[in-house]
Amino acid sequence: MDEKLESILKSAGNMFKKYGIRSISMDDIARELGISKKTLYQAVDNKTDLVEYLLNYLIEKGDYNCLKDATKDMNAIDVLLTVSRAVSDEIKEINPVLSFDLQKFYPTIYRDFVMKKRDHVYEQISRNCQQGITEGLYRSDLDVELVSKLYVQKLIEVHNPDFLSSVEFSFEKIFQVMFDNHIRGIANTVGLTYYENQIKNLNINTNP
């Protein structure tokens, strides 16, 4: 990806996470970057084009490439714990208005993003399940395809603003509980003992 475009996407993404999309103008983004609006429009055609580029960029970034080296020698449970902490840290920075703005003002782009994200997460969870079974940490009778699809469906549902507005908990807490339930549902006795020791050692609170 072009460095200038990536810089624009990072800056715009940070602003959208804090304030939502509708409240941020192209003038605001150009000002934040210290460039003219003309220069900004040389990289993207308009705000809708910018949003689409940004969501595609987030799909690529969502692979957490920065964690691949750190997790390559980890077992399946530690990989999930490491990635879940990265996701939780990311969630803390996101304004719930962002999802609302995407669904209301960019429904087609957002729907495409959700579908791509779904496929990506499905592949990640499937791979992790296979690893955990091989390592003797997950149940050997696990239906990998079904477990992966259920996890992805839950993830899509908890992103729904209607769901979030109907519960008292933050999305971060909802994700933590969903993640905890996922591991407890797939781990065997050995894996569950290891997981409970890890969350105790890492001081992770999974209670609502």
Per residue in 124-157, pLDDT (tens digit) is 899 999 999 999 999 999 999 999 999 988 877 7
Residue 28, SS3 per DSSP: helix
Give residues with Cβ within 8 angstroms of 65, minimum separation 6: none
Exposed / middle / buried, residue 172 (Cβ in 10 Å: 0-12, 13-18, 19+): middle
Q: Which pLDDT score, from 0 to 100, does residue 63 have?
A: 56
Q: Kindly report, residue by residue over 32-51, the tens digit of the pLDDT.
A: 999 999 999 999 999 999 99
Helix (H/G/I), strand (E/B), else coil: 135: coil
pLDDT given for residue 118 in this prediction: 85
Is 131:79 a contact under the CB 8 Å cutoff?
A: yes
Of the candidates 29, 24, 30, the one whose C-alpha atom is nearest the C-alpha of residue 101 is: 24
How many C-beta neighbours within 10 Å does residue 75 have? 18
Higher-confidence residue of 175 and 181: namely 181
Q: What is the band of 177 on the pLDDT scale with cuts at 50, 70, 90?
A: confident
Confidence band for 208, pLDDT divided at 50, 70 and 90: very low
User: Which domains are seen in the chain, by residue range?
Assistant: 3-53 (1.10.10.60), 62-201 (1.10.357)
**Which residues are CB-neighbours of 136 under 8 A, at least 6 positions away?**
188, 190, 191
Distance of alpha carbon 148 from alpha carbon 26, whole angstroms: 39
Higher pLDDT: 113 or 136? It is: 136
pLDDT at residue 204, as a whole number:
59
Q: Is 29 exposed, middle or buried (0-12, 13-18, 19+ CB in 10 A)?
A: buried
Give me the pLDDT at residue 164, please. Answer: 60
Average pLDDT of the chain, as a whole number: 87
pLDDT value at residue 199: 87
